[in-house]
Chain A
């Protein structure tokens, strides 16, 4: 029974030259892909011959030859060749691919062989017209009594198909290179292009009859010494001499809730030595599908936080776009992304546990990015919270190790200047102090404390008196009176280290308040704005006013102080106290402009002089 004819149904009319122009010139972003497409066709043809003939002695090969004089490049394979029907059905019909058909046929009973086939769109051959004004394809099928056929086209609506003298089984594609694709005639460039696209293909590709193939024929992870091969590959391809770590990618089982799925994954990710850190920086992957290079610098396969990571992935589940320069971001893409993230996190954790030196190098090189992202990304934070290391007064420490030494308290300083004595106090108190001068560190620590209720944060900037214990002992009254008479605010406390007789502590905004007041006094701010600034600073300094000159904390457990407290008032004792105070002032590293420094040294000099005379 035939279907009734619908008078309203019409067929599309195709203007082939226009279509060829669009496909050839707009589908691909670079002319080099013509090489990839033709080598891939040659590769699939060899696979087809091996699958269909099952000849044990068959040795596939692909040859690429440049003829500079004739402006031609020829790609020859000893694969299955094409029959006349193949030529008409597949070669001359856009969108129909023999490889896809063969792949579908093989996929049920011979999935391994099916997985070796690359082509699927039936459009790759068109890319020849990107670089060639005329394409001459000569082919002889492995099938018995097949004639040698020559197909010739200049991208016009017509093609010629004629029988010619016999050639060996296989196919050769002769490209008459256009003037704007003359790079193809340069052996160096062509060699690089072949290596870029076909390096991992198992079939050897020879250039200009060379003795050695120009492609490695296997990915580094399949080399006899995969570790060394991978390092060599990273050096050659990514120009990274000494990666800090390499994490292998393997098949991964993904939990789908109702079922599981195994993602076939090959490749590796590596961590280059540190670069300028940035939350704007991106990690990237070079992508291969069935060993054919698809694209480089693919960012989306890596999780957003993995900006310090680069690598290679080969996965048959990835689906290329028609130009095969990009990937479809379909469900499989998401699963592969998930698989890579899981393996990356697992790998990082393993390095942190098993190779602390390598982990320290990673953290040192990429701390900014790791910490910056952990602050933003809760899941990533959970993964790295206890393995990220911090610069502390006892070297690089992870919070896990740090907290063991501090009874679940985190002591940190955020300012670089003037934090020396806070660090000293912390160390004296028997605890390491974290240098949190980089912006992401305090946020990271706060996030950690928020998520761990038993952890307490202690910021030491301007608050280091938290590490001191007040002393109520009349023994030191004389010393207190000495400083009171000189308008120096002082307190008797005990703190560690006991060798330090005293330190001067300023409120955290002291410098700013002083600077602003002096700017206001000097009329350096425009009129009404000065009023707004002045109002704010007055409010800010209200609470800190008394302490702006600093408070001198005298250590009652220091033997020198104890000795001085027992001495009667006199030149020697007074000079010693003044000297201790000036030393402490200088050691604080704060509120020291030139007159202040001069004054401190002058007073110290006077004190020393008096001591000598005494």
Chain B
């Protein structure tokens, strides 16, 4: 049995009541998170300022549910848009501790608070916390009232976990279930197609990858977001180059650059992988290296332990393919894995690099 939470009903009712009372402060309180959401993609700092202000207003108006709701959104901002997992996780834990209090027993956003805490661990150390993450997903799906979007995202995490654990078939099966749950939201559909596109690309099913990229682009435009469009062009540019169609490759690359200009958020690992390959294929390893440098700088010291190690491994492999010395990078990678609960997963990969295998060949099924 699943428990439903009427998050939007709460927000709508609160807003309607505020209108009826002519309470402009509460009207604003009920709408500022939309304003922040609109800003997330191209100006996350402004989005954060709006959320901070929402928090302040909730405090002034003594609205604890709204205080928690804005705190939750701040966590989203840190984890997904600003890229500071240290702050995100800290925020997530504090909010989860706060909502245990009796006054939040019927708070309809409780599922979101827990979900973003779960996400923080998915980004921090998904292999080390694999058991707890899976158990949390199960508990949330059965014991916590969830709104539809949260339910969808839990499904997405299932797919992402399978992908991280190198169970690609399982990841695709879960992603297809996710896709079928997302009809209510173009933004979610865009995300689902991105996951599927990533999986298709890595198993070298390029026709399928392009089909998913096209859908991703369409849903991105429908939802008024740019990120899906940018990734879509990155996929098309890279695949055009793989297939030797240089004219299209450059055309799509230019389009990607034009759309990317208005994005203020950090790019995802799929984007970096695509663009590094794009440059490497043209013999521009220095550009690929510059991208890996940027990718690493963006997450270094921000609490993304898994991402940090993974990026270091990609850097090692690239240095190897470039014929450059990689001892320093390898020893830094060994140092990085000390933050992880189960470093063995990566130790095997480092050993392979030490043995001279610099390929991006996937492990797993």
Residue positions of A touching B, CB distance < 8 A: 276-280, 368, 372, 375-376, 438-440, 512, 515-516, 519, 524-529, 531-533, 535-537, 540
Contacts and interface: CB of A to CB of B under 8 A. Distances in A.
Contacts of B144: 526
Among the interface residues A438, A515, A535, which one has the most CB atoms of the partner chain B within 10 A? Answer: A535
Contacts of A368: 53, 56
A525 B96 contact: yes
Given A528-B139, A529-B114, A531-B132, A279 B100 contact: no
B53 A528 contact: no
A439 B56 contact: yes
Given A280-B53, A525-B97, A532 B28 contact: no
Interface stretch (B43-51, B193-201, B354-362): B43-51
Contact of B97 (A277, A519, A527): A519
A515 B53 contact: no
Contacts of B25: 276
Interface in B19-77: 24-25, 28, 32, 35, 45-46, 49-50, 52-53, 55-57
22 contacts: A276-B24, A276-B25, A279-B49, A439-B56, A519-B100, A526-B114, A526-B139, A526-B140, A527-B135, A527-B139, A528-B135, A528-B139, A529-B114, A529-B117, A529-B136, A531-B135, A532-B118, A532-B132, A533-B96, A533-B97, A535-B129, A537-B93
A531 B131 CA distance: 10
B143 interface: yes
A513 to B, nearest CB: 10
Contacts of A439: 52-53, 55-56
Interface of B: 24-25, 28, 32, 35, 45-46, 49-50, 52-53, 55-57, 89-90, 93-94, 96-97, 100, 114, 117-118, 121, 129, 132, 135-136, 138-140, 143-144
A533 B57 CA distance: 28
Given A512-B97, A531-B132, A372 B53 contact: yes
B28 A280 contact: yes
Interface-central residue, A439, A512, A528, A531, by most chain B CB under 10 Å: A528
Contacts of A276: 24-25, 57
Given A280-B28, A529-B139, 6 more contacts: A279-B53, A440-B52, A519-B97, A526-B143, A529-B114, A532-B121
Nearest to A372: B49
A278 B140 CA distance: 36
A528 B35 contact: no
Given A438-B56, A439-B55, A533-B117, A528 B132 contact: yes
A582 to B, nearest CB: 29
Contact of A278 (B28, B94, B97): B28
B86 to A, nearest CB: 11
Residue from the set A372, A512, A526, A532 with the largest chain B CB neighbour count within 10 Å: A532
Contacts of A440: 49, 52
A516 B97 contact: yes
A536 B144 CA distance: 22
Contacts of A280: 28, 32, 35, 50, 53
A527 B53 CA distance: 33
Nearest to A526: B139
A276 B32 CA distance: 14
Contacts of A278: 28, 53, 57
